Chains A and B, each alone.
Chain A
């Protein structure tokens, strides 16, 4: 598949219609955008059009329509959120359109309908609607792999750093989906076990006693078994809920701890601010000294430069005034001196000279240079001739450079102070963070106690179930129904064994393969040596020579690229998938990479997929090879960041 265009209207902050033409000739499409302009939104638009699902981050709402447009609408007005992707796949052109229609109500705006259509262009260039568009899209671009085709580097880093187990589970899910192992896993769930009542084996097991009459021992055991199965199911649900809550609290603790680690106390901020202020003032002082030194050198060695400046200034000033105030021809210093004398009562033209006239004449006088132009200029020329041979360009330039450099230092420190103030404003009070962490820790302790009690109960229930099942087995041993059920259970257990073996072998094979591909990519992209290991549950670990896991965000960013690279390589090597082309739409964490890493990663992009569309807030043009750059777009946004648009070309640096 190669994406040719993506169009949209009224999707989140993209209020107006817009269209991006993607390069399909192997070159890179780049969409630039600053923080908050809507890169991630546009990146998610791809997934929304293909699958109708998107994952917004916690800080944003899940409203799809543009809020500004909604505000403009009247009560009962209807409007659409719309996206279309045109692509080619296996030599045919397709057009995929998703539309949600909303109606504005008094209190809320609600979705009233949605449409999803896929059209295919036939040999006669007619567009025909494809039946079951979801299935067709699924075949062309499996949704199980969506997170990897539409790769959000930032959230992958967060997953890798904070939620190792979650990213492993996502990866396992994706790989299972890629190789149809999800089907085997689902089958195993359905076959189940004797103690799971809604599964095949669970139902077969209980059917051992179906032929007996009520009130018998067998019947009572059956009731006990079913009741304890219900209780076990409920206990497991409660445990899962609490474990999930515990995981969230643990995650909160980690996030707060990271924040605390990077949050300075008020004293630290003040100390740093004072340091910056002191440095800035020192540079300002130094700038003044440098300027003074420069002035002294000029006056001492090159007075002609001053003279030249005076002449030029006067010329410019006069020219300007002649133009704007129409200074009459023939006005000279002598005439003005005569006119401005208190003894002169009348002008040469006959008009009386009052206070206003005298003041105006005085202004003309101030405009004129101290000497006549010609004499000043002649003096200047002579001086220049005389000094010309002694003119020391390097000396003057070095003094100018010193002034500029000190000014820059002072300016940088000024900016550091502003940034520090901003950072302090944004960072929560460290005390609040510590309290929040303590609350989360207390909650974990509380959950641990509750979980321990629930697990104890579950153990007891399981034990009781086991005992009841044993008695049930003994009582039903000789029943015909029981013998039949046992034979069926035996068959299903063999089937389950085949599926389990298949899964284990595949998990082992694919995790090792992935480990190899990620390691190869990391060796190329990372400047320092790191070892990758992918366990059979698809947990990825990247360790240094001391077997410590990497901590730096930059390294995680590189790992995230290697991660997606490794997965895409596996897709390309898969027998069923290798004939297909998949695009890579990448919201890349380039800013987290240092210069070398960025160059290495960018150099790898052409190898990741035959079509790569990159969203970036960082200028990549210095690291991209010229012949690899295809279409370029920039997202621009209004100050409130609620209306964005895409324009062709790179509009900012």
Chain B
């Protein structure tokens, strides 16, 4: 059964917050972490949540 919009929004918020925290930690540890990486990961997660995986 596919998820409702509200459920997807909540999932995405939790996911993005975690990704951003990890990115922040990586930046502080002088590790690599680019804008493109995180944008792509958000897009992938969105595809998964909306059942649009290729």
Contact = CB atoms under 8 A, between A and B. Distances in A.
A484 B12 CA distance: 17
Interface stretch (A61-69, A117-125, A195-203): A195-203
B9 A495 contact: yes
Contacts of B35: 190, 198
B17 A183 contact: yes
A135 B28 contact: yes
Interface in B20-51: 20-21, 23-25, 28-30, 35-36, 38-39, 42-43, 46-47, 49-50
Contact of A495 (B16, B21, B52): B16
Interface in A168-189: 180, 182-184, 186-187
B39 A495 contact: no
A204 B12 CA distance: 15
A494 B23 CA distance: 22
Interface of A: 132, 134-135, 138, 143, 180, 182-184, 186-187, 190-191, 198-200, 203-204, 484, 487-488, 490-492, 494-495, 498-499
Contacts of B9: 491, 494-495, 498
A495 B19 CA distance: 14
B52 to A, nearest CB: 6
Contacts of B49: 491
Contact of A199 (B12, B25, B29, B39): B39
- Sorted from nearest, which 10 A-B pairs have the closest CB atoms? A183-B20, A134-B29, A138-B28, A494-B9, A187-B16, A495-B12, A187-B20, A200-B42, A186-B20, A135-B29
Contacts of B17: 183-184, 187
Contacts of A191: 16, 42
A182 B24 contact: yes
Nearest to B26: A135
B27 to A, nearest CB: 10
14 contacts: A180-B21, A187-B17, A187-B20, A190-B16, A198-B35, A198-B36, A198-B39, A484-B50, A484-B52, A488-B46, A488-B50, A488-B52, A495-B13, A498-B13
Contacts of A200: 39, 42-43, 46
Contacts of A134: 28-30
A204 B30 CA distance: 30
A198 B52 CA distance: 21
Interface of B: 5, 8-9, 12-13, 16-17, 20-21, 23-25, 28-30, 35-36, 38-39, 42-43, 46-47, 49-50, 52
Contacts of A198: 35-36, 39
A492 B38 CA distance: 14
Contacts of B38: 190
Contacts of B20: 183-184, 186-187, 190
Contact of A491 (B21, B23, B46): B46
B29 A132 contact: yes
A183 B8 CA distance: 20
A200 B49 CA distance: 15
B12 A491 contact: yes
A491 B39 contact: no
Nearest to B50: A488
A187 B29 CA distance: 19
Contacts of B21: 180, 183
A183 B23 CA distance: 9
Given A135-B29, A184-B20, A190-B42, 20 more contacts: A134-B28, A135-B28, A138-B28, A182-B24, A183-B20, A183-B21, A183-B24, A184-B17, A186-B20, A190-B39, A198-B39, A199-B39, A203-B43, A484-B50, A491-B8, A491-B12, A492-B46, A494-B9, A498-B9, A499-B13
Nearest to A204: B43
Contacts of A143: 28
Contacts of B23: 186
A134 B8 CA distance: 35
A233 to B, nearest CB: 13
Contacts of B16: 187, 190-191, 495
A72 to B, nearest CB: 33
A626 B51 CA distance: 71
A433 B41 CA distance: 55
A487 B42 contact: no
